[in-house]
Amino acid sequence: MTTPRSPVAEQYRTIRTNIQFSTVDEEIFSIIVTSAGPGEGKSTTAANTAVVFAQQGKKVLLIDSDLRKPTAHYTFKVDNHAGLTNVLTRQSSLSQAVKYTEQKNLYLLTSGPIPPNPSELLASKGMKQLIEDAKMDYDLIIFDTPPVLVVTDAQILSNAVDGVVLVISSGKTELEGAVKAKEALLQSQARIIGTVLNNKKQQDNQYYYYATR
């Protein structure tokens, strides 16, 4: 997000505010960002939400847990030789695999090499330990996960974090798909803290709207 005064940047700051106020009694330390289907903007939303939290002074760890189609290393222009999969298979420690970004306070754990068993890795004890370890060093952990209706990865991670943000693309996500995605997450005991409506045009600007349940 290179234009902090743009309408899009302002909407991401609105998303940040609403995430912070989505719970009254509990602080949110970890969230996943997902969507119903592919191409709906969940990776862009995850990355830019991480940026605005970092700009606020939070120490943020963005984790690319889309182990089937990772994109964060392209977004932040870093290598992906080692990442999440290396940590989960104990080939690397979390501190060794985390990468710096150009944004102050924002750190990135790329996907690492694509494994043959993504769902099993995400459901492993190693993932739970990673989250606990990350909470010791970071104020907020944001997971970019695969779409809910494509694979079960988002559902697997959803009950291991404090909240879920569901991205819906205006004009692309069908109502039935959005409902099915929400139901699948709730069946996994996920805590849906809000929805981002993506690509809604308003005065020719991309517009993001966040609403809690």
Q: What CATH superfamily is the domain 7-19+27-211?
A: P-loop containing nucleotide triphosphate hydrolases (3.40.50.300)
Inter-residue contact 86 to 92 (CB < 8 Å): yes
- Three-state DSSP state, 95: helix
The pLDDT tens digits for 111-132 are: 999 999 999 999 999 999 999 9
Q: What is the per-residue pLDDT for 181?
A: 93
Residue (of 190, 208, 206) closest to 143 by Cα position? 190
Give the residue-averaged pLDDT of 78-104. Answer: 96
The pLDDT tens digits for 123-182 are: 999 999 999 999 999 999 999 999 999 999 999 999 899 999 999 987 777 788 889 999
Inter-residue contact 140 to 53 (CB < 8 Å): yes
**Domain boundaries of the chain, sorted by first residue:** 7-19+27-211
